[in-house]
Amino acid sequence: MKNSTTIGFIGAGNMAYAIISGLINNGMPAKQIKLSDTNEALLFLRKEAFNLEVFTDNIELAKRCDVIVLAVKPQILSTVCHQIADAIKPNTLVVSIAAGVRVGDINHWLGGNASIVRTMPNTPALLNQGVTGLFAGEFVNELQKELASDILNSVGQSLWVEEEKMLDAVTALSGSGPAYFFLMIESMSKAGVALGLDEKTAQSLSIQTALGASMMANATTDSIAALRKQVTSPNGTTQAAIASFQQQNFESIVAQAMRAAFDRADELGTELGHND
Ligand SMILES: NC(=O)c1ccc[n+]([C@@H]2O[C@H](COP(=O)([O-])OP(=O)(O)OC[C@H]3O[C@@H](n4cnc5c(N)ncnc54)[C@H](OP(=O)(O)O)[C@@H]3O)[C@@H](O)[C@H]2O)c1
């Protein structure tokens, strides 16, 4: 990232906070970051935390930035885009982190020729452990793609998809995925209690097991299936549990759940796009 690039965030909520923290921790000077929000009390807190320039007027921010990160709720994105459309400088990169809203709609609201990268981050970004899918609109150049990667990499990993539709698949997998693992942790904790453990012990065991298994999966040079087989001794306890999961068609349960998320992402994209 050039040391003159100015990044402006519209919306000072949790996601903007996480990304700004990541950028500053990665060495970006606070004077290159600007922030606007309608909530003055929140802006005050962010200014105290990061010592950056803040605005209650999105237009004033838009006039001053080379990159604009749209970090408001999807339902108000059209209002914000209409508001800043005439204020953004030529060649400004617009990065949307708003779930579901399609590039074509954002471009329409911004007047028709904007360089837009649409992204789908996930909540572990709040702990710098996020993973983000990115899609580049037709007016985005290679340097702007690098810039967008740099911004999202400050809160974890990122990867590009070639078709916008694949962001719905990213949403179904990593966007909604943290909740699937929370459900697994909840379910394992409850089952542990049913087997006689106290609640606190069952929850600690579940959380640490999820963390340890993730770290092993991340470190292995083998396939995940091979890793599972290595820890599943014939006729052992793990095999008894895995056989029970498989009898109840665990893979198909997961596939159906993710298909439901994928279909809902598509519906939401259509609903949100009509909001102009
Ligand atoms: N949190 C996540 O894990 C996550 C994951 C993936 C994607 N996202 C996306 O990230 C975006 C931001 O999420 P978030 O969790 O950070 O939301 P958030 O905490 O609600 O932050 C949004 C901020 O925007 C402010 N705002 C409302 N209207 C505004 C306007 N016209 N101009 C400027 N600011 C305005 C809100 O103020 P008020 O509260 O006063 O309205 C709030 O401070 C969303 O689009 C969401 O879909 C979030």
pLDDT over 70 for what percent of the chain?
Answer: 98
Asked whether residue 24 falls in the same domain as residue 135, the answer is yes
Residues 21 and 143 in one domain: yes
- Least Cα distance to 164 among 81, 80, 270 occurs for 270
Q: Are residues 82 and 52 in the same domain?
A: yes
* Residues 31 and 88 occupy one common structural domain: yes
> 201 and 100 in one domain?
no
| pLDDT band per the 50, 70, 90 thresholds, residue 3 | confident
pLDDT in tens, 168-196: 999 999 999 999 999 999 999 999 999 99
Residue 95 within any structural domain of the chain: yes
Q: Is-contact 106 116, C-beta < 8 A?
A: yes
Q: Taking the mean position of all CA atoms in its chain, how far away is CA 80?
A: 20
What's the pLDDT tens digit per position in 23-47? 999 899 999 999 999 999 999 999 9
Provide the domain count of the chain.
2
Instruction: Let me know if residue 54 belongs to a domain.
Output: yes
Written as one letter, the residue type at 20 is I
Q: Model confidence over 138-161: pLDDT tens digits?
A: 999 999 999 999 999 999 999 999
- Mark whether 107 and 205 lie in a shared domain: no
Q: Which of the listed residues 99, 132, 161 is the one where a domain comes to its end?
A: 161
210-239 mean pLDDT: 95
Q: What's the gap in Å between 97 CA and the centre of ligand 1?
A: 9
Q: Which two tokens stand for residue 188?
A: 């394992």
Indicate the residue among 128, 161, 194 that finishes a domain: 161
Which residue has the CA at smallest separation from atom 48 of ligand 1?
15
For ligand 1, atom 36, which residue shows the shortest CA distance? 11
Residue found under tokens 């921010």? 61
The verdict on 200 and 230 lying in the same domain is yes
Mean pLDDT to the nearest integer, 222-228:
95
Give the mean pLDDT of 221-232: 94
Instruction: Determine the distance separating the centroid of ligand 1 and the alpha carbon of 13, expressed in angstroms.
Output: 5
Instruction: Check whether residue 113 and residue 239 sit in a common domain.
Output: no
**132 lies in some domain:** yes
For residue 56, give the CATH number of its domain. Answer: 3.40.50.720
Inside any domain, residue 170: no
- Centroid of ligand 1 to alpha carbon of 77 (angstroms): 10
Cα of 12 from ligand 1 centre, angstroms: 7
Q: Give the domain extent around 246.
A: 177-266
pLDDT classification of 104: cutoffs 50, 70, 90:
very high
The reply to whether 31 falls in a domain is yes
Is 172 a member of any domain? no
Domain match, 53 and 115 both? yes
Residues with CB under 6 A from ligand 1: 10-16, 36-39, 42, 58, 71-74, 76, 79-80, 97-99, 121-123
Same domain, 133 and 223: no
Sign of the dihedral defined by the CA atoms of residues 35, 39, 44, 50, in that order: negative
Task: Indicate the residue among 161, 193, 210 that finishes a domain.
Answer: 161
What is the three-state SS of the chain?
A: CCCCCCEEEECCCHHHHHHHHHHHHCCCCHHHEEEECCCHHHHHHHHHHHCCEEECCHHHHHHCCCEEEECCCHHHHHHHHHHHCCCCCCCCEEEECCCCCCHHHHHHHHCCCCEEEEEECCHHHHHCCEEEEEEECCCCCHHHHHHHHHHHHCCEEEEECCCCHHHHHHHHHHHCHHHHHHHHHHHHHHHHHHCCCCHHHHHHHHHHHHHHHHHHHHHCCCCHHHHHHHCCCCCCHHHHHHHHHHHCCHHHHHHHHHHHHHHHHHHHHHHHHCCC
HSE-up of 56 (CA within 13 Å, CB side)? Answer: 6
Residue 276, domain member (yes or no)? no
Which residue's alpha carbon is at the smallest distance from atom 46 of ligand 1?
98
Q: How far is CA 55 from CA 85, 132, 178, in A?
A: 17, 27, 33
CATH at residue 245: 1.10.3730.10
Q: Does residue 171 form part of some domain?
A: no
What is the pTM assigned to this prediction?
0.93
Q: From 97, 136, 79, 121, select the one nearest 7 (Cα to Cα).
A: 97
Residue 124 sits in the same domain as residue 218: no
Looking at residues 118-145, what average pLDDT do you find?
A: 96
Q: Kindly state whether residues 121 and 42 are assigned to the same domain.
A: yes
The reported pLDDT for the residue numbered 1 is: 67
